[in-house]
Chain A
């Protein structure tokens, strides 16, 4: 199997999962497409650095996270840092009665990205704490606190409703 076939077999099956995460992070289809496209182009260029047998999903998420960080850097803004500085914006509960899934997606979208990303990587992408620490380049203790805070904010947005 040559390099291209190997890339197709390993990385491309993750395309939709990456897109879903990108859309949940950016909340904008165009931005999500740019993010995913750049992630896969970089992944292709750097595929020689991927260690076969390790988790390709975690590797792709690492690239996606860096591409996103680069986008913020180029745009001269850093919502990640500003969100980390304080408690984050006030998050009023969602009141409308939409379907439970849509409700949850919308609530997730209102959690600041720095915490949202940790929750997505853990609860939707199902990465381990070690993998998330590697993707976000933060200590495991910080992973735990971001997930905790993200879930707490999510519950707050959902209004503490049991569904």
Chain B
């Protein structure tokens, strides 16, 4: 075996496997140069190991300990705040699915839109098919939108924003005495097929359809029921055909 100085280093450190160690030992027995290297490295190791550790300057360790103690406060707060934030997010998601909260939001939006003059419809029209087509071009599929229901006449539609930032399609109906709204929410709620709630001085009827929820809102319960019954009849026949 020819000289392999690195293996001699590994041998001095006891880092070789059995086969390599046997080969190096055999070589050392016949190679004064490698033996000298091994002896020199062994001696150097002993000297290095015996070196006294340089002492840090007075006060340094205490300063670092103080900084470490300051951090825990932050981390402890983080440990409290992070789960709290997670819980709040959870509550927010839970509330998003709450029919009572959504009903209140829809009632509020209904009142706000109908308080505006003129009505803030972006797509104006009296034909259900054209409003449905306008909504569908913006990604909202709705059951055939009725042009009329009882004494209500379709006026137009726009998108309104809910508290959580999500956009809902808002379709406006006006009758001789009252107004009514149809909302299309792109998500389900924790409820059965239908639910009637009085919220914000309005009657709200929520209709659960696959993948979406319809909300009908109005001050007159008969109007709300007439419009929602019409919608249920139409949804049983399926969604409006794509244009």
B-side binding surface: helix, strand, loop or mixed? helix
Q: Are A4 and B53 in contact (CB under 8 A)?
A: no
The answer to whether B109 has its CB under 8 Å from any CB of chain A is no
Which residues A128-148 have CB closer than 8 A to chain B? 128-129, 140, 144-145, 147-148
* Surface stretch bound by A, among B64-72, B150-158, B170-178, B197-205: B64-72
Known: A12-B65, A144-B6. A17 touches B53 (CB 8 A): yes
CA distance in complex: A143, B134 (Å): 70
When each residue 12-54 of chain B gets 1 if its CB lies under 8 Å from chain A and 0 otherwise, what string results? 0101000000000000000000000000110111011101111
The answer to whether B9 has its CB under 8 Å from any CB of chain A is yes
CA distance in complex: A4, B65 (Å): 11
A-B contact pairs, 10 of them (CB 8 A): A19-B56, A20-B53, A20-B54, A23-B54, A44-B71, A104-B51, A108-B48, A145-B6, A148-B5, A148-B6
The answer to whether B60 has its CB under 8 Å from any CB of chain A is yes
Known: A20-B53, A129-B15, A155-B40. A41 touches B9 (CB 8 A): no
Which residues A21-52 have CB closer than 8 A to chain B? 23-24, 29, 33, 36-37, 40-41, 44-45
CA distance in complex: A29, B53 (Å): 13
Q: Which residues of B contact A23 (CB under 8 A)?
A: 54
CA distance in complex: A19, B53 (Å): 9
Known: A129-B15, A147-B9. A124 touches B67 (CB 8 A): no
Q: Are A40 and B68 in contact (CB under 8 A)?
A: yes
Q: Pick the contact of A147 from B13, B60, B64 — CB < 8 Å?
A: B13
A-side binding surface: helix, strand, loop or mixed? helix
CA distance in complex: A108, B64 (Å): 27
Q: Are B65 and A124 in contact (CB under 8 A)?
A: no
Given A16-B56, A100-B47, A129-B15, 19 more contacts at CB 8 Å?
Answer: A15-B64, A16-B61, A19-B61, A33-B56, A33-B60, A37-B64, A37-B67, A41-B68, A45-B71, A101-B51, A104-B51, A105-B51, A123-B49, A124-B48, A140-B15, A148-B9, A151-B41, A154-B44, A155-B44
